[in-house]
Structure 1
């Protein structure tokens, strides 16, 4: 049992060959290479030790490679090609993967080692003022993503106000005997408290029927801002957008995390905890676009895709679409 790093693998990035099309027939597989100085870095976190500890369905550790492969096959949009023309190969780099090799067993300290190694890689990307995109893996990725962001920014600045937006059916504030996929935001709150800071945390898509009263009580004590799954359907987009922008306004930097179980089951069947209600993909995409357009996002991750439960690659395609959207929005509208 160990934590292992693997570098960029060209074999993951394959796609259609279109020799008879014009030069606008460009796909991501043709332009993603080893991360060096590109504005966006993809970093895999091949780990579901936290899901296992959280009594969930394991399999998410196989996700990063599959999601990258699905992204590779997507076309590069007209808008990106118009903006960047001959620079397409200088936009997105692959920074490899951190693997938590646990043989599907609960291993003390192994998750923590993986999270810290992943955090170190995130910190190095953030320190270069690049957007780090983590690809999980279970939602235990969140602790590593935030830790890496905090470390990367601390190397450059002091006392920045960092906020967290989580698109998720779950608050992930659990108390447990050890770190799991259900504890990351409690861990973040406790980490910040050691230096007298409060966690600025906005959870969008929270389900009343997927969180205990104990979790809602803890969220209230931590002053967590919440939009329930019902709110996301019943409030107007203008009201929701205004709440997102009001949360972002006082912050210096943002960490956005997307737990794919926030989506409805028809869109995303391939997760450990399938949503009984869930959010529409269009709503999630609107949230992502609004958040990125703030220009404050330094780290984004996607978590909980579990290929064991996918149907016709549906979940992988959704995850890849979100990655493509994130990349496009950052390159066209982010800083």
Structure 2
């Protein structure tokens, strides 16, 4: 198994699931691995269509001069997911809960660092995170399953894209619901350039950015993406401020742009208004709009994975943890919904 992967057993799952008489919770029906068994063999043998795992880290975010906190999203999400109802619409039996990639040692290694030294260390560690994510996603996609990845910064899009591409033997498309392009200069690895690296290296074929904010996209990046035939986007201001484009039409256009080939669905939670995230904003998409997009995209047979990233709830605020976890759980349920 990947060196950083910590797998979960039924004891772990049931400890987080609140059992109630007369109900069946999602966590009571999800699959887990047998400890000590071969990962790839068990993935192949599993009857689940989706494989859920977490990446509790914020190293890539800090390497991009961002605020830490994305390491806490997985904990919040897992509790909320396991405590959804198992029913005809949200079937726990569709999901294998794998576990999480553990980068706690790496997080400890940057404690006490500051300034440029901290930034450079975070970027170096992010390259190692890329390798772990790539390897795990490759194995899941190769087994015919669809990964659902939660937590960490948007740096992990690179590993999702590369792992899927290597498993499928072709460049994949991506629909990214995001306030930012994350198509910045390929200087070294961090949360702001996962897509530019994947595009440059041939793992990312077509790329659609939905709802980027004009206020936080540089002139240089607009010039770059406007020159690329395989890149398309709309802006939040086009959709909701100037109302130059219709929302329903643009949702369909964005999905149609990528669904001709295998594609990944990336959701940066900072695209949602008031969502606790690494770049939270009072202005953004509604959770309902993002839920609709995730559901519509998941209808395509070419939908390959779902990545929910950049959520950064305060671990000392139980209400914020619960609300963030529930938002993430809704999006997971929409991806697997009948």
TM-score interval w.r.t. the shorter chain? 0.7 to 0.9
Change (3 A) 1:214 1:67: same
Partners of 2:128 and 2:54 lie apart in 1 by 15
Whether 2:225 is the aligned partner of 1:219: answer yes
Which runs of 4 or more aligned residues in structure 1 lie more than 4 Å from their structure 2 counterparts after TM superposition? none
TM-score, normalised with respect to structure 2 = 0.83
Q: Is the 8 A contact 2:90 2:333 kept in 1?
A: no
Partners of 1:5 and 1:15 lie apart in 2 by 22
Q: Is the 8 A contact 1:232 1:279 kept in 2?
A: no
How far did 1:273 drift?
Answer: 0.3
Change (3 A) 1:75 1:201: same
Change (3 A) 1:143 1:245: closer
Q: Is the 8 A contact 1:173 1:215 kept in 2?
A: yes
Whether 2:210 is the aligned partner of 1:229: answer no
How far did 1:122 drift?
Answer: 0.6
Whether 2:301 is the aligned partner of 1:295: answer yes
Q: Is the 8 A contact 1:137 1:304 kept in 2?
A: yes
Q: Where does residue 84 of structure 1 map in the other structure?
A: none
How far did 1:77 drift?
Answer: 3.7
Q: Where does residue 279 of structure 2 map in the other structure?
A: 273
State the aligned residue count.
Answer: 303
- Give 5+ residue unaligned stretches, structure 2: 34-41, 111-117
CA RMSD, Structure 1 to Structure 2 (Å) = 2.1
Q: Where does residue 28 of structure 2 map in the other structure?
A: 30
Q: Is the 8 A contact 1:99 1:114 kept in 2?
A: no
Moved more, 109-118 or 124-133: 109-118
Equivalence map 1:6-85=2 (5 Å)? 6-9=6-9, 10-13=11-14, 14-19=16-21, 21=22, 25-35=23-33, 36=42, 37=46, 38-80=48-90
How far did 1:317 drift?
Answer: 1.2
Q: Is the 8 A contact 1:161 1:252 kept in 2?
A: no
Q: Where does residue 137 of structure 1 map in the other structure?
A: 152
Partners of 2:282 and 2:58 lie apart in 1 by 22
Partners of 1:238 and 1:272 lie apart in 2 by 28
